[in-house]
Amino acid sequence: MSTDLQTPAPAATQSQNDDILLSVKDLHVWFELKKWGFSHVGWVRAVDNVNFDLKRSEAIAIVGESGCGKSSLMKTLLLLNRPREGQVIFEGKDISRLKGKELKWYRSQVGYVQQDPYGALPPFMPVHRILDEPLVINGVKDKRERQRRIRTALEEVALTPVEDVLNKYPHMLSGGQQQRVVIARAMILEPKLLVADEPVSMLDASVRVEILRLLRKLQEEHNLSVMYITHDLSTVRFFSERIFVMYAGKLVEQTHIEGLLDNPLHPYTVALLTGTSEPDAANARKLKEVPPGEPPSLVNPPAGCRFHPRCAHAIAGVCDVDEPPDFEPVPGHVVKCWLYKEGRTSYPEA
Amino acid sequence: MNLNRFREISRYPSAIVGLVIILILVGISIYTVIALPYSETVVKWRGGDRIWQDNPRTVPPAWVNYFRSEKLPESIILSSSDEGVEKERTPLNDELTDIVITFEFDYTADEFPQEIILSFTSTYEQKSPYISLTWKTPDGREINVGDFSIDRTASRRLSQDDKLTKKLDGQTAEIGLFADPNSEELKPLKGTYQLEVAGLTFEPESDFDVKMVIYGKVYGLAGTDHLRRDLLLGLMWGTPVALAFGLIAAVATSVLTMIIAATGSWFGGWVDGLIQRITEINLMLPVLPILIMVGVFYSRSLWLILGVIILLSIFGASIKSYRAIFMQERESGYIQAAQSYGAGNFRIVFLYLIPRIIPILIPSLVVLIPSFVFLEASLAVLGLGDPLLPTWGKIIDDARTNGALLRGLYYWVLEPSVLLMLTGFSFAMLGFALDRIFNPRLRGM
């Protein structure tokens, strides 16, 4: 980290970026690999040089396959991981330098909705206690005030009548109800940012839409910023305005949702979209084209573009040598791919 | 924790039996501690013959007579200073006084007593009183047991009086005085006996008292040991000692082990490494030899031994199994959620990690209690019992060193053993049921 990046931005810049809630700059999350518990072997580059801004009351989706680093990115935002390099700036403050009260304040500003609702709830606590915990930890001393907020939170996620739920243990609730409790817990401290890690992937298809609608409703009512992390492109459209595609620790494409679906630019995005199933009987007989090979090792990522070993359009001598910078072939549509160096604005047909 | 789970116990009859036994043991403990104060007990138990001199030596409890056709005698203790014993004083002149004491008692047992001891106390300036003893049997025979002068305090063991033995055709007093002359077998004559103590004092102020103890062959609820001590005292005090020892050791080791395991697996890194290494070293240490060394070289105090046992058990094998559970739990979603809303390390360890294994902990804790009770008993049998307190193990040790089993004194070994087994049995019954209640998945197995 260079020193001038650590100094808080001058007031002028701050007012200029007033609608930016969270700004991720040059973020690297690397995990050290050790042999025998001490000798250094290498680094797992889970998140490598990621930059983006998140505006207030904006929802962004991060898509990518398993192991692409999206969960590491999310955990860094939740301060469950420490970044190796780079900054996450939340309302003008670098979160990795927060301590004491400010750290507590930051944690209360970020809600966390997890993938597996059953695992996310302590099985030995009844619902009222689960919701009480964040309040107690964040210093809401008045018991009546806490009870009022628990009720409000439960009503907001439509777990009514509240009395029926309060004394139940997580295993007594259905998957959908459990996820509502998780959302209520994430919302109970009235956060400004909600990090949702595949919030519907473990739920029945019938419940998914309701949960997504609920998240959408909460986002609108509370002017929440939402980071929605998923590997399932079919749910993205539901409430995200912007979508980031992540591959091997890098954001390879950033754009608005329509831009992505109508005009995918990165070869990996195209492959992802092809892989998405539509419920159509004809699909049963169709074999989809999938990029060959496996996602690369994050310990020894390929030189140049990390996708080049699997890419049908790889340009020898370029893609496997130099890492592609951000190109913006269409305004508001950023892509890391050498194909767009020459001003191409759409994906080349095969 | 859901308290309703404890109510499920009523569905397991074995657990109820266990619980009832435990409650009885706890009741005995409470009664013992209140009714027989610690300081008194310690003095009494060490007291030696002085305190226990009226008890017969190594005799079984009185209730064995219910199971025998030939009844064993109970002790008969009569004293001239008591009410109901005749003591006639007849002054003969200024100096001489004639005193006649008559002890009268019924003898109904089918066996002879253990021993007869007379003890005298007298007051005089110069000349000691002179007495003559006459034994009157139910069939009217009168036997002169002896004539002698008595010191200020004196006692006479009739069974060891050679002259008397000669007079009784070679039979010692406890047999010869009671034997039925008309019977071919050697057996006591039942009926009312009298011992007349006729004495002469030679000073106006002189007086004497006599106590007669005919030692029986049964005593009390629990019998006596080689030092004539009432075993009931030892057995009763053994209960609170055993329960307290087992409970403290089990709770302390389980709880501390759990906290150490949780702390280690939560913080990881060198903390975890250190705990694991200590555990591995500790698992290789021989517990019993260490305890013996502590007992021999340092102190045999029960509470010190308890402390050493706890210290050696904290880093026990269960740290490994608890750690395995915790390592899994620390990655779980709810822990990450707790971190994300700002729960501190202390809160996570105590309110999020530890409650997860309490369902496993409670039954194992209950089953652990008797194992520590047994450990204490084993130490006592090895001669490392607490020097002051009576414990079940020490009673077994006394029985062993005095050859109780070889001499057929089974009650001496069986009484503490049965109590030990009952304790183990009751906690095991309760523990197994609790295990099924808290870990329902085991039910089908």
The residue from B193, B215, B237 where one domain ends is B215
Checking if the pLDDT of A4 tops 60, the result is no
In a domain, B51, yes or no: no
More confident residue, A262 or A285: A262
The confidence score (pLDDT) of residue A8 equals 44
- How far away is chain B from the Cα of A348, in angstroms, using its nearest Cα? 43
| Interface touch B343/A75, C-beta < 8 Å | no
Tokens of B385: 């019992």
Q: Is B39 on the interface with A (CB under 8 A)?
A: no
Instruction: Compare all CA atoms of chain B with the CA of A134 and give the residue at the minimum distance.
Output: B341
The confidence score (pLDDT) of residue A1 equals 39
Looking at the structure, do residues B197 and B292 belong to the same domain, yes or no? no
Q: What is the pLDDT of residues B82-107, one digit of tens each?
A: 877 888 888 888 888 899 999 999 99
Q: How confident is the model at residue A124 (pLDDT cuts 50, 70, 90)?
A: confident
Please tell me the least confidently modeled range out of A32-46, A281-295, B357-371.
A281-295
| Segment B270-285 mean pLDDT | 93
Q: How confident is the model at residue A49 (pLDDT cuts 50, 70, 90)?
A: confident
- For chain B, give the mean pLDDT: 89
The confidence score (pLDDT) of residue A292 equals 74
The confidence score (pLDDT) of residue B2 equals 56
Q: What global pTM score does this model have?
A: 0.80
Q: Is B358 on the interface with A (CB under 8 A)?
A: yes
Looking at the structure, do residues B39 and B93 belong to the same domain, yes or no? no
SS (H, E, C) B72-106: CCECEEEECCCCCCEEEEEECCCCCEEEEEEEEEE
The confidence score (pLDDT) of residue B334 equals 92
| Segment A235-240 mean pLDDT | 76
The confidence score (pLDDT) of residue A296 equals 80
- For chain A, give the mean pLDDT: 83
In a domain, B53, yes or no: no
Listed residue (A255, A306, A294, A281) closest to A65, CA to CA? A294
A interface with B, Cβ–Cβ < 8 A, is 37, 75, 78-80, 103-104, 107-108, 110, 112, 114-116, 119-125, 133-134, 137-138, 169, 182, 185, 189
Domain residue limits, chain A = 17-240, 267-350
Listed residue (B402, B411, B72, B100) closest to B214, CA to CA? B72
Looking at the structure, do residues B110 and B249 belong to the same domain, yes or no? no
In a domain, B54, yes or no: no
Long-range contacts of B413-422 (CB under 8 A, 24+ apart): B415/B61, B415/B222, B415/B223, B415/B231, B415/B235, B416/B234, B416/B235, B416/B238, B416/B377, B416/B392, B417/B392, B419/B235, B419/B238, B419/B239, B419/B242, B419/B392, B420/B242, B420/B373, B420/B374, B420/B377, B420/B392, B422/B21, B422/B25
Contact list in B for residue A100 (CB cut-off 8 A) is none
Contact list in A for residue B336 (CB cut-off 8 A) is 75, 78, 80, 112, 114, 120
Looking at the structure, do residues B236 and B202 belong to the same domain, yes or no? no
Give me the domain span that covers residue B122: 70-215
Checking if the pLDDT of A207 tops 80, the result is yes
When CB atoms are compared, the residue of B337, B343, B358 closest to A120 is B337
| Segment A251-261 mean pLDDT | 85
The confidence score (pLDDT) of residue A279 equals 64
The confidence score (pLDDT) of residue A284 equals 67
- How far away is chain B from the Cα of A114, in angstroms, using its nearest Cα? 7
Chosen from A110, A137, A181 to mutate, greatest number of chain B CBs within 10 A: A137
Looking at residue B214, its amino acid is: I
| Interface touch B356/A124, C-beta < 8 Å | yes
The confidence score (pLDDT) of residue B445 equals 44
Chosen from B272, B340, B348 to mutate, greatest number of chain A CBs within 10 A: B340
Distance CA A50, CA A28 (A): 7
- How far away is chain B from the Cα of A87, in angstroms, using its nearest Cα? 18
Q: Is B334 on the interface with A (CB under 8 A)?
A: yes
Q: Is B430 helix (H, G, I), strand (E, B) or coil?
A: helix
Q: What is the pLDDT of residues B387-433, one digit of tens each?
A: 888 899 999 999 999 998 999 899 999 999 999 999 999 999 999 88
Contact list in B for residue A120 (CB cut-off 8 A) is 333-334, 336-337
In a domain, B18, yes or no: yes
- How far away is chain B from the Cα of A78, in angstroms, using its nearest Cα? 6
Tokens of B403: 């050859």
Residue B100: which CATH number?
2.60.120
Checking if the pLDDT of A317 tops 90, the result is no
Looking at the structure, do residues B189 and B305 belong to the same domain, yes or no? no
CA angle B56, B59, B60 (to 5 degrees): 140
Looking at the structure, do residues B160 and B239 belong to the same domain, yes or no? no
Looking at the structure, do residues B181 and B232 belong to the same domain, yes or no? no
Contact list in B for residue A168 (CB cut-off 8 A) is none
Contact list in B for residue A119 (CB cut-off 8 A) is 332-334
Q: What is the pLDDT of residues B308-353, one digit of tens each?
A: 999 999 998 889 999 998 998 888 889 999 998 888 899 999 999 9
The confidence score (pLDDT) of residue A136 equals 92
Phi-psi region of B170 (alpha: psi -120 to 50; beta: other; left: phi over 0): left
Q: Is B322 helix (H, G, I), strand (E, B) or coil?
A: helix
Percent of chain B scored above 70 by pLDDT? 97
Peptide bond between residue A325 and the one before it cis (omega within 30 degrees of 0) = no
The confidence score (pLDDT) of residue A144 equals 93
Tell me how many residue pairs between chain A and chain B have CB atoms under 8 A apart: 66
Contact list in B for residue A79 (CB cut-off 8 A) is 339-340
Checking if the pLDDT of A36 tops 80, the result is no
In a domain, B63, yes or no: no
Distance CA B393, CA B388 (A): 13
- Cα torsion B396, B400, B403, B408 to 10°: value is 40
| Interface touch B337/A110, C-beta < 8 Å | no
Q: What is the pLDDT of residues B238-253, one digit of tens each?
A: 999 999 999 999 999 9
When CB atoms are compared, the residue of A80, A116, A185 closest to B339 is A80
Instruction: Compare all CA atoms of chain A with the CA of B270 and give the residue at the minimum distance.
Output: A37
Checking if the pLDDT of A5 tops 70, the result is no
Instruction: Compare all CA atoms of chain B with the CA of A109 and give the residue at the minimum distance.
Output: B341
Looking at the structure, do residues B152 and B39 belong to the same domain, yes or no? no
The confidence score (pLDDT) of residue B347 equals 93
Contact list in B for residue A122 (CB cut-off 8 A) is 334, 338, 352, 355-356
Looking at the structure, do residues B319 and B346 belong to the same domain, yes or no? yes
Q: How confident is the model at residue A288 (pLDDT cuts 50, 70, 90)?
A: low
The confidence score (pLDDT) of residue A102 equals 87
Distance CA B429, CA A333 (A): 70
When CB atoms are compared, the residue of A124, A138, A185 closest to B337 is A185
**Number of structural domains, chain B?**
2
Please tell me the least confidently modeled range out of A174-188, B78-92, B109-123, B192-206.
B78-92
When CB atoms are compared, the residue of B332, B334, B342 closest to A108 is B342
Q: How confident is the model at residue A17 (pLDDT cuts 50, 70, 90)?
A: low
Looking at the structure, do residues B206 and B323 belong to the same domain, yes or no? no
Contact list in B for residue A138 (CB cut-off 8 A) is 341-342
- How far away is chain B from the Cα of A132, in angstroms, using its nearest Cα? 11
| Interface touch A78/B339, C-beta < 8 Å | yes
When CB atoms are compared, the residue of B273, B334, B342 closest to A122 is B334
The residue from B194, B215, B236 where one domain ends is B215
B389 DSSP 8-state letter: S
Tokens of B98: 């004639």
Q: How confident is the model at residue A3 (pLDDT cuts 50, 70, 90)?
A: very low
Looking at the structure, do residues B301 and B362 belong to the same domain, yes or no? yes
When CB atoms are compared, the residue of B1, B341, B351 closest to A134 is B341
Q: What is the pLDDT of residues A143-161, one digit of tens each?
A: 999 999 999 999 999 988 8
CATH class of segment(s) A17-240: alpha beta
The residue from B158, B182, B215 where one domain ends is B215
Backbone angles phi, psi at B260, to 5 degrees: -65, -45
Checking if the pLDDT of A7 tops 50, the result is no
The confidence score (pLDDT) of residue A9 equals 43
Chosen from B329, B334, B352, B360 to mutate, greatest number of chain A CBs within 10 A: B334
Contact list in A for residue B339 (CB cut-off 8 A) is 78-80
Long-range contacts of B32-35 (CB under 8 A, 24+ apart): B32/B236, B32/B237, B32/B239, B32/B240, B33/B240
| Segment B186-193 mean pLDDT | 90
Q: What is the pLDDT of residues A217-237, one digit of tens each?
A: 999 899 899 998 887 777 887
Looking at the structure, do residues B241 and B352 belong to the same domain, yes or no? yes
The confidence score (pLDDT) of residue A295 equals 78
Q: Is A68 helix (H, G, I), strand (E, B) or coil?
A: coil
The confidence score (pLDDT) of residue B279 equals 95
More confident residue, B314 or A46: B314
Q: Which of residues 203-262 of B touch A (CB under 8 A)?
A: none
